[in-house]
Structure 1
Amino acid sequence: MNEKIPALKDRLHTRALVPLLILTIVEYEVFTFSKATVAAAKQDAWLSILIGAIIGSFIVYLFIKLTARFPNMSYFQYLPIVWGKPLGFLICCLYLLFWVAFLSSIFYESLLANKMLFLPQTPTIIPLILFALSLIWLVSSGLIPVIRFFQLLLPFLAIPLLILALLFTTSVKIDRFLPVLENGLLPVLKGSYCVLGAYQGPEVLLFAAPFFMKIKQGVKSSLLAYNITIFFGWSNTVAAIGILGVQNLNESVLPGINVVNLVEFPGFPVERFGLLLTLPWLIAIYSTLAIYLYLLCSSTFQLFNLRRRTWLIFIITAIPVTIAYLLPNEAWHEQLRLYLTVVSVPIVYLLPVMTLILAVVRKKGRTT
């Protein structure tokens, strides 16, 4: 919350980028994957994800190059330097609006999962408020404690998802991926766009960079984290297509749960593996909400020169919570999610790349 940049000796090692990025990027995709990708590319969605991974990895590399030019500044601090104050301010406001919409979507998804899976008889506002209160407590402590918390959570997210990836291999039917490129390359490329739009989170690098030592050495950690999340999405999508089929997947609200409950492993004493998604979902949804709520609050305080106040954090948090609670039904949320997928690519990926290009052209920041 307008947090002071720590001294160099108190900053985190770039290895901490791995849990930060994984737990930021992996969120509701654990349950739904990128349904927009499957809708666009159909049985070739697995190929769309691989192409999207290559493009996304290159852009993440450029993000590190951008942060290395401004190692002691967050993204909002050097946007006005690169773009000029008026345009930089407008871009910052655009990010704030995007985060409000994104947080509203994630809060609604937590509400939906609680209603359908965990607490169907409980009024939806109760778990929503409990989620929000615990998040306020966490993000009020600052970014470094949040990242430390993510480091503790990472094994509990990654291990169940890796186990599921292995279990999926027993039930996937290869014929459901044929014929390859039936509709040509264009749907695959559209699917790749959806992949990039669905995996929000790499932009967190731009805001967290000042809290890390020698951020320019964080290329390997960042690429590793990004591609681990892509692997989770790829394995889940392959399983969904190979087990459910494209048509059933598109009609399903929570295909992740449906796929896991259909997995059969001969001789294994457990018949239903749906619980393997419960813990990763809780961790992923909570961590994504935590980091984006932190960004929304701290960036609002920084942009409008506000002092950190707990009551302001409550008010800021209440905005996406209220929007999520007032969404009429799942159809409205699906439209919101689709719009977010479309606008995420220019906001999350293209604007930072354009900022890097402009910084190089205008010779802003460090050049070595």
Structure 2
Amino acid sequence: MKERSDRLSNIQILFIVSSTIIGVTVLTLPRTATELAKAGGFIATFITGVLMALMLIITALLARRFPNYTIMEYSKEIIGLVPAKILGFVFFCYFISVGATILRLFCDAIKVLLLENTPLEVLIITFLLAAVYLCLNGISSIAKICELFEPLVIGTMLLVIVLSLKNFNFEELLPAFKQDIFEWLHAVPTLAISYLGFEVLLFITPYVQDASKVVKYGFCGILPSIFIYSLFVAVTVGIAGVEPVTRSLYPTIQLARYIKFPGGFAERFDIFFMIFWILGAYTTVSSFLYLSSVSITRLLGLRNYKPFIPLIVPVIYMLALFPQNIKEISMFSQYASYLGLALLAVVVVLYILAVILKKGEIFKNDNK
């Protein structure tokens, strides 16, 4: 049965999904997309977003079919106990891997852009402790923080895009329309990690007030990331050009630095942007820490996830420190993305099996 201590509104579902997706990778996404698809990076980013939105719909439909349980419980009814346990362990590894990747990307950016003399280890520990504090207060606290911060994060990113349009040159994007569609599709697996995070629906649906609307609000949650990511890539290339973007470590920050106000007002707009970007990164890392603790708890057949958080933190810390350079971080991120795509494929199979076998009715009958 589902726990009833935390109840999430529909709008909170929207912001949880959005805040879990929009986070650290926005800094490097234009460079990654441009390296893979050149001028067509914004098209590849949009295609990836549309495909991931379809995956979100299937994920939400599966979660809605079993509104009182997480995937850890109902997967046993669909594929059996042992395969379900294996799936649960893979989910646990996936959440830890993505959480560690995002944490490392965030702390590297903070060290390069703001705190050059601060040891990387100190940044990672500090940010992890802040995430632990939020997670220990439960899913309702995470939802409230997402509901508070996410509109500010989205608004700030849209502001950067709008203010950058005066320097935008559409001619830089024209080569994209001469590319083959396979050049765009080739970039999809790598870009997918920027949209991962909506898997949270598989674990938080039991806490939703109205599970029948989880598909609608989950879908609305991914829409901001599709448009913001695609616009960021397009505007960055349109202002700087393909080659400068591929050589830039954090092209989104460079985009914010191009913004100038008359009279010297707000000369460092990039600092303003980073303040709200940090808020987005905080909610993303917190969500994945929560998901990893809940997944291992349900895997072991337990309910209280809080004792596992201190045990998971050292694992995430060591994984975050494992990559030695930017290249290794990119490889680690790519592997995490592939693992996420594999899990989404399994989710699709689970949904198809649940429909064919008409699974879900037994759970509904148990609650009558």
TM-score by length of 1: 0.91
Pairwise CA distance, 1:185: 1.1
Report the equivalent of 2:352.
357
Pairwise CA distance, 1:34: 5.3
- C-alpha separation in 2, matches of 1:228 and 1:193: 20
Pairwise CA distance, 1:6: 0.8
Report the equivalent of 2:226.
230
Does the CA-based 8 Å contact 2:26-2:194 persist in structure 1?
A: no
Q: Note the 1:150-299 alignment, pairs <5 A.
A: 150-264=146-260, 269-299=265-295
Matched, 1:114 2:107: no
* Alpha carbons of structure 1 residues 247 and 4: separation in structure 2 relative to 1, 3 Å: same
Does the CA-based 8 Å contact 2:2-2:206 persist in structure 1?
A: no
* Alpha carbons of structure 1 residues 109 and 50: separation in structure 2 relative to 1, 3 Å: closer
* Alpha carbons of structure 1 residues 308 and 91: separation in structure 2 relative to 1, 3 Å: same
Matched, 1:5 2:8: no
- C-alpha separation in 1, matches of 2:151 and 2:355: 39
Does the CA-based 8 Å contact 1:260-1:274 persist in structure 2?
A: yes
**What per-residue deviation string (whole Å, max 9, x for no partner) do you get for residues 275-298 of structure 1?**
232122211111111011011112
**What per-residue deviation string (whole Å, max 9, x for no partner) do you get for residues 20-67 of structure 1?**
011100111221125433222211122223322332222222222211
Q: Structure 2 counterpart of 1:295, which letter?
A: L
Does the CA-based 8 Å contact 2:297-2:305 persist in structure 1?
A: no
Matched, 1:102 2:112: no
Matched, 1:123 2:119: yes
* Alpha carbons of structure 1 residues 107 and 211: separation in structure 2 relative to 1, 3 Å: same
Pairwise CA distance, 1:74: 0.8
Pairwise CA distance, 1:228: 0.7
User: Match of 2:187, SS?
Assistant: helix
Pairwise CA distance, 1:273: 2.0
Report the equivalent of 2:131.
135
Pairwise CA distance, 1:81: 1.5
Pairwise CA distance, 1:340: 2.1
Pairwise CA distance, 1:342: 3.0
Pairwise CA distance, 1:268: 7.1
Report the equivalent of 1:339.
335
Pairwise CA distance, 1:264: 4.3
Query: Which residue of the other structure, out of 59, 80, 83, is the alignment partner of 1:84?
Result: 80
**What per-residue deviation string (whole Å, max 9, x for no partner) do you get for residues 158-198 of structure 1?**
22112112112111111111223333111112234443343
Q: Structure 2 counterpart of 1:210, which letter?
A: P
- C-alpha separation in 2, matches of 1:214 and 1:173: 46
Does the CA-based 8 Å contact 2:31-2:247 persist in structure 1?
A: no
- C-alpha separation in 2, matches of 1:195 and 1:329: 20
Q: Structure 1 counterpart of 2:203, which letter?
A: F
Report the equivalent of 1:17.
13
Q: Structure 2 counterpart of 1:99, which letter?
A: F
Does the CA-based 8 Å contact 2:193-2:334 persist in structure 1?
A: no
Query: What's the Cα RMSD here?
Result: 2.3
Unaligned ranges ≥5, structure 2: none
Does the CA-based 8 Å contact 2:31-2:250 persist in structure 1?
A: no
Report the equivalent of 2:312.
316
Does the CA-based 8 Å contact 1:114-1:124 persist in structure 2?
A: no
Does the CA-based 8 Å contact 2:64-2:211 persist in structure 1?
A: yes
**What per-residue deviation string (whole Å, max 9, x for no partner) do you get for residues 198-248 of structure 1?**
311111111111111222223332222101111111111112211222222
Q: Structure 2 counterpart of 1:149, which letter?
A: I
Q: How many residues align?
A: 363
User: Match of 1:337, SS?
Assistant: helix
Q: Structure 2 counterpart of 1:169, which letter?
A: L
Unaligned ranges ≥5, structure 1: none
User: Match of 1:274, SS?
Assistant: helix
* Alpha carbons of structure 1 residues 153 and 78: separation in structure 2 relative to 1, 3 Å: same
